[in-house]
Structure 1
């Protein structure tokens, strides 16, 4: 017998041993739950019959996860998954030839390749992935738009967080909705699929309500979406038992005491303007990420400051260690925290504040605050400001009474497109396209203004910060398309336009940004926030004078001086 033949026999022998070993290799619970949850989700959103809502798919999940207890090898799991798929017949399979212009950065089906050694299972999974005959029971469009809704997700009636399989249903119900219908998934800090095993372990091992709520919070925080607010009472109760007798504001990674209850502050020798540079021996930026960023979803650090200002100094104990800087001295000490305050003697730093919605400032500069201003007041403001040197529009807020067209009618010389929107394709999971909503045949919501030879053609300064979010960012993008607009401030919240609301299995609701927002040139806005021309350089000694407005005045005066 030749050497080649001997080598082939030995190789074959080892291959057989390897196959036998794989067949006998045990599979852990995390892997079983993960693989079943993936197949269950694929069928929910890709199967021609299941997507019609003919089956109680949550109950199917519960029933089959319980059956997984008897599955102990990958081979037996493959058989289980194959039988599960075959248990519900597909009426039709239709494969589409996708257009080249579809947005495909959220496609993530590589996990199917794991089953390439099982021809039958692999073929069925690939067919499901490619099927385009999909109904809209689990995800549909709002009328006259292409924003996804999940109105038939109503929760699991008998949900009990103490039951592991119920917690796993909660996880996979939400995880798969995000996997297939969150158009901004590709922008997450961590790949959504890569975190699944971690989520499975977290939900599986939650022995208490607090652990369960923390698992759910981590899941939602992973979206990196400022729209995705969720703060359960057990978490709040565990983290926010005691609060400080003062208010703070984050300025360049330092906490400034901006308001204080005088008697309680005096007890710890605290004063207005004191700078807190460390909390529990950790610098402010790091502890903000650890303590606040772990429980609040945020698109960027600018938005995270909102929650840090409010909650960073709260604690589980009635004192907290801080390093305080005052003038040229630095002191490290524990300060008292309280559940309630009897002291009502409150003082604050003298912040600069314009108390009117619109007024002339600095001789011949107009100022408009969009927070509560009405359409009629905007008209009066632009009429009075028609001969000013420039206008400052303050969008460090959420406008309550106006739309973008109420401003652009005065700032555009003609109608123009100011935003490009990426819509998820409801009947094509994971895909999206830059498309117009159905109402665009009547009114195009992504164009604004009209032909206007009398438009305001002097400098417009737009003020924005981390509180500029959602509708405010949409309005901001419209204002930015004005011919003479300069944007001043810091990164906005990075969560533009509408939200999708998803009811989780336990009945709680969570949100996520439902579309993707881009400038007409293709620059993305989700997570980044609006384009900024001049970043405001606030520091701990000048922030009370409103550096945003001062910078706006400076820029308008510079233009006037250049013209003269």
Structure 2
């Protein structure tokens, strides 16, 4: 009997001991979260009194040696003790004037008993309740808006042979997103999971190019159409040649359809016409390219992803490109010469892209049309004078507008209106976002426009264009026609590093009733998507649908 009891005790002790063991990735993930939390919450770290990067680099070798939760937690407990006492202020009460938006906020990881001791969890909670209340050293609110800006960070390249040096940069950017990206709660993959998956990749990347590709993958996991990642060459000052297909295109049904000729001469040389269907580039099908680029192109939704992808497909570092076309039911492969946009063809490309565009015009049947991508504030009085007595005005927002929504809203609306509300980071409580004052547009105007307002949208409608659409929607008799927009609105935050440049949406944008626009975009009242047949026939199917709606009311 004693032997049986002894066996059970030994077995239980082995189970307990095994349960307390933690993996390297678990330790590094938890260390990242604690280091980032202290960076923005602990008075000495958040105020810039310490070299916080160096603090991490000193602790990582010790953390690496820890084998159990207890050993790991003790290292972090001692670290916090070494930072000195924190003046007890709290719990700090939130101002009665602050209305918090908390879908994005979660510090429950303090209580992860898998990696943290109860004592360490209590220490972290105490720091939260007595957090730093001064001016943050590493981040700030951008002037006039309040979205996050970065400062006092080390932008130097890591030592690509030293995993701790590489992890320092990963941890820095991960925590920047963790605390100051307003849409973390809308990511497809939890940001915690992204950290867990990126840590081994960063450790394995032992050279300049491989490491910054890992950083690009990290950036792209935030699912935000505002986010692009620009990787700089390892050779300082080196700019690789870029060669371009002489046309724009659109992906429809896993095919790339030519939508606009940009260079007449090179297009004629290879018999490229609007409506041509591209099925392969250098032997890869368009569908294969779509699947391949998912990790390195960031977008809020699939419509915008495909739009961004086209730009990458139609550019090459080689001027000789094999392109497979589908013409008249036959597959034809051409070895094409693509041209440098910055050589003698540059003016031709620009001319082809911009010809025959008018800021506004009068269509048949007393219908107005406004190209929001080129009309400016100084053109608005003339536009109103010409179009004020029309039965309808079509505002084409399938491009980026030039800050004219306020003036046009005042023309459309008979009164001042709430059209959007935003969230901004609370730098006194990092990770939390607060509602800003409601945004208004329009003005008291008894002579406002009385006809129908139609807004055309598609995946190119992004940021200020989506903001403008929301403004026009609130103005009154507005109908939205088109397809899913980019799903990325609000001011951007830009981050420049030695090896890469990136950005993300810095503020949350919502309808006055709290409905989300991020990732969803502006939902059309009437959905219309271009078809291959329509493009080949030279029709603008979205505009055609708008004209039909004006005529029939449906």
- Sort the TM-score into its range (normalised by shorter chain): 0.7 to 0.9
Residue 411 of structure 2 corresponds to: 410
Task: Give the superposed CA RMSD.
Answer: 3.7
Residue in structure 2 matching 1:524, options 516, 528, 533: 516
What are the equivalent positions in structure 2 for 1:40-55 lying under 5 Å apart?
A: 40-55=35-50
Is the partner of 1:457 in helix, strand or coil? coil
Q: What do residues 222-271 of structure 1 show as CA deviations (whole Å, max 9, x unaligned)?
A: 11112222121449999987756542411423212343878877887766
Contact 1:470 1:496 in 2 (8 A): yes
Please, which moves more after superposition, 533-542 or 77-86?
A: 533-542
Is the partner of 2:100 in helix, strand or coil? coil
Residue 439 of structure 1 corresponds to: none
Is the partner of 2:223 in helix, strand or coil? coil
Q: What do residues 139-195 of structure 1 show as CA deviations (whole Å, max 9, x unaligned)?
A: 333455443332x24424575445432221111111011111211111111110011
1:384 equivalent to 2:386? Answer yes
Residue 103 of structure 1 corresponds to: 101
What are the equivalent positions in structure 2 for 1:179-258 lying under 5 Å apart?
A: 179-234=178-233, 243=243, 245-253=245-253, 254-257=255-258, 258=260
Is the partner of 1:537 in helix, strand or coil? coil
Q: What do residues 528-556 of structure 1 show as CA deviations (whole Å, max 9, x unaligned)?
A: 11121122231223233322332222222
Residue in structure 2 matching 1:550, options 540, 544, 550: 544
Change in CA separation of 1:431 and 1:11 when aligned onto 2, cut-off 3 Å: farther
Residue 120 of structure 2 corresponds to: 121
Contact 1:288 1:312 in 2 (8 A): no
Is the partner of 1:86 in helix, strand or coil? helix
Q: Distance in 2 between matches of 1:273 and 1:60?
A: 59
Instruction: Please report how far the alpha carbon of residue 365 of structure 1 lies from its aligned counterpart in structure 2 after TM superposition.
Output: 1.0
Q: Distance in 2 between matches of 1:373 and 1:175?
A: 40
Q: Distance in 1 between matches of 2:36 and 2:292?
A: 32
Contact 1:466 1:492 in 2 (8 A): yes
Instruction: Please report how far the alpha carbon of residue 307 of structure 1 lies from its aligned counterpart in structure 2 after TM superposition.
Output: 2.6
Change in CA separation of 1:53 and 1:358 when aligned onto 2, cut-off 3 Å: same
Residue in structure 2 matching 1:31, options 20, 26, 33: 26
Contact 1:241 1:314 in 2 (8 A): no
Residue 515 of structure 1 corresponds to: 507
Change in CA separation of 1:380 and 1:515 when aligned onto 2, cut-off 3 Å: same
Instruction: Please report how far the alpha carbon of residue 91 of structure 1 lies from its aligned counterpart in structure 2 after TM superposition.
Output: 2.4
Is the partner of 1:231 in helix, strand or coil? strand
Instruction: Please report how far the alpha carbon of residue 311 of structure 1 lies from its aligned counterpart in structure 2 after TM superposition.
Output: 1.8
What are the equivalent positions in structure 2 for 1:361-376 lying under 5 Å apart?
A: 361-376=363-378
Please, which moves more after superposition, 70-79 or 313-322?
A: 313-322
Is the partner of 1:545 in helix, strand or coil? coil
Instruction: Please report how far the alpha carbon of residue 130 of structure 1 lies from its aligned counterpart in structure 2 after TM superposition.
Output: 4.1
What are the equivalent positions in structure 2 for 1:53-452 lying under 5 Å apart?
A: 53-89=48-84, 90-96=86-92, 102-115=100-113, 118-137=117-136, 138-143=138-143, 145-150=145-150, 152-156=151-155, 159-234=158-233, 243=243, 245-253=245-253, 254-257=255-258, 258-259=260-261, 273-279=275-281, 284-291=286-293, 293-314=294-315, 323-327=324-328, 329-331=329-331, 333=333, 335-336=335-336, 355-400=357-402, 402-436=403-437, 446-452=439-445
Residue 484 of structure 2 corresponds to: 491
Q: TM-score, normalised by structure 2?
A: 0.86
Change in CA separation of 1:104 and 1:85 when aligned onto 2, cut-off 3 Å: same
Q: Distance in 2 between matches of 1:337 and 1:381?
A: 43
Instruction: Please report how far the alpha carbon of residue 9 of structure 1 lies from its aligned counterpart in structure 2 after TM superposition.
Output: 6.8
Q: Distance in 2 between matches of 1:154 and 1:145?
A: 22
1:16 equivalent to 2:13? Answer yes
Contact 1:251 1:538 in 2 (8 A): no
Is the partner of 1:227 in helix, strand or coil? coil
Q: Distance in 2 between matches of 1:32 and 1:388?
A: 67
Instruction: Please report how far the alpha carbon of residue 316 of structure 1 lies from its aligned counterpart in structure 2 after TM superposition.
Output: 6.8
Residue 478 of structure 1 corresponds to: 471
Contact 1:244 1:336 in 2 (8 A): no
Change in CA separation of 1:405 and 1:21 when aligned onto 2, cut-off 3 Å: closer
Instruction: Please report how far the alpha carbon of residue 43 of structure 1 lies from its aligned counterpart in structure 2 after TM superposition.
Output: 0.6
Change in CA separation of 1:163 and 1:372 when aligned onto 2, cut-off 3 Å: same
Contact 1:214 1:235 in 2 (8 A): no
Q: Which runs of 5+ in 1 are unaligned?
A: 437-443
Q: Distance in 2 between matches of 1:238 and 1:317?
A: 16
Tell me how many residue pairs correspond in the alignment: 542
Contact 1:167 1:204 in 2 (8 A): yes
Instruction: Please report how far the alpha carbon of residue 321 of structure 1 lies from its aligned counterpart in structure 2 after TM superposition.
Output: 6.1
Is the partner of 1:396 in helix, strand or coil? coil
Q: Distance in 2 between matches of 1:464 and 1:418?
A: 18
Q: Distance in 2 between matches of 1:469 and 1:497?
A: 9
Is the partner of 1:406 in helix, strand or coil? helix
Q: Distance in 2 between matches of 1:503 and 1:53?
A: 20
Change in CA separation of 1:189 and 1:375 when aligned onto 2, cut-off 3 Å: same
Contact 1:94 1:130 in 2 (8 A): yes
Residue in structure 2 matching 1:453, options 435, 446, 450: 446
